[in-house]
Amino acid sequence: MIRNLLALLLATFLCTCGPAPQENGTPAAAADTAPPKIVFLTGDEEYRSEESMPMLADILERELGAETVVGYSLDSNGVIDPNNLYHVSALDELEDADLMVVFLRFRQLPADMARKITDYAESGRPIVGFRTATHSFRYTEPRDSALMVLNDEWPARVFGQQWITHHGHFADGHGRLTEVSLVDERRDSPILNGVQPFQAYSWLYHVDGGEWKLSGDSAPLLMGHSLRSQHEADGKLDQFPLDNPVAWTKTYTGESGKPARVFFTTLGHPYDFREESMRKLALNGIYWALGREADIPAGGVNADFAGPYEPNNSGFGSEYKPGMRPRTR
């Protein structure tokens, strides 16, 4: 199984990106108006994706009539445990999914679990990623050497960048650290409908500049300006400038030969989603990835909460809410 996964990933490493994603006029492929099936994969021990992604799923069920499935890192008793790096539930649901949404961080999944994620990515179906999906996996043991391609090469090809660095945590959840603005030449993108400049709690990720460049046809939508930077204090702004893209579109062409739409944002602190513009960005990006940009209103998708959203703050260890179980229908 591991040998097959490595062969597949190394083969697709040589694939080039497809044509730039079309945002106006005719979509890259005719959109299906049937209710889509959207599978969210959560599993990060820092940013409470187990709370933010179900919140988005509930809104999408209301607004799009979508069938949504949320996968979680679970312990042996079926309780959500973001610190369990070796498990994500609901991966079989990807087989007939219309969209995969990824908010994973440094997972060390068994090869058969990882293969279900990479098989989806190679299928040509759309993908949306949040923040730590640039480092969805971290394999370090010699026995996992065949999976190490997933650490850096895979996210750079699929999402546009791998994990590099950020400008510093500082007042985690107690202050806004990134000024978010619209890229002028992309203001007509339907993904930005209803999105206004705002200040995010997410500390700015470095993805472009210095020795690094976004991959493929990545086209930034939003820029972030770090309001407080350790790299500035260390005199390293030539390598890690204060301004960096925080949301972009791209395509990924895998084994299927079909260009897949990809929307990515490096934002994703649990408190960012209190901002209506952040929720609109996420929802609009999901609609666009699905080829449903014509259904995005001029003011953006209705981002009113479908239920309470009171997430815990970011942080490691036991900062997440204990005893939570996957939502039931």
Spell out the domain ranges in the chain.
35-164+245-295
Yes or no: say if 82 and 119 are a contact pair by the CB < 8 Å rule. Answer: no
- Identify the residue with better confidence: 130 or 17: 130
Amino acid at residue number 292: R
- C-alpha span between 208 and 242 (Å, rounded): 11
pLDDT at 171: 81
Question: What is the Cα–Cα distance from 52 to 56, expressed in whole angstroms?
Answer: 6
CA distance 8 to 46: 31
Give pLDDT, residue 169. Answer: 86
CA angle 110, 132, 145 (to 5 degrees): 35
CA distance readout (Å), 113 to 90, 110, 317: 10, 5, 24
pLDDT of residue 12: 42
Please report the pLDDT score of residue 327 as a whole number.
Answer: 80
pLDDT of residue 33: 79
Per-residue pLDDT at 20: 44
Look-up of token digits 């979508």 = 66
Q: What is the pLDDT of residue 1?
A: 44
Residue 18 has pLDDT above 50, yes or no: no
pLDDT over 90, % of the chain: 87
pLDDT for position 9: 44
At the top level of CATH, which class does the domain 35-164+245-295 belong to?
alpha beta
C-alpha span between 106 and 139 (Å, rounded): 8
Please check the confidence at residue 164 and state whether its pLDDT lies above 60. Answer: yes
Tens-digit pLDDT profile for residues 172-215: 889 999 999 999 999 999 999 999 999 999 999 999 999 999 99
The reported pLDDT for the residue numbered 329 is 58
Q: What is the pLDDT of residues 24-43, one digit of tens each?
A: 333 444 456 789 999 999 99
- Which of 19-23, 206-210, 259-263 is the least confident region? 19-23
Model pLDDT for residues 288-308, shown as the tens digit of each residue: 999 999 999 999 999 999 999
Those residues whose C-beta lies under 8 Å from the C-beta of residue 103, and which sit 6 or more positions away, are 40, 41, 42, 43, 44, 47, 49, 52, 53, 129, 130, 131, 132, 133, 268
pLDDT of residue 86: 98
| 153: phi then psi, degrees, rounded to nearest 5 | -65, -45
The Cα-based distances of 311 to 184, 245, 270 in angstroms read 32, 26, 6
Using the predicted structure, report yes or no on whether residue 97 has a pLDDT greater than 50: yes
Q: What pTM did the predictor assign? A: 0.91
In the predicted structure, residue 237 carries a pLDDT above the cut 50? yes
Q: Mean pLDDT of all residues in the chain?
A: 92
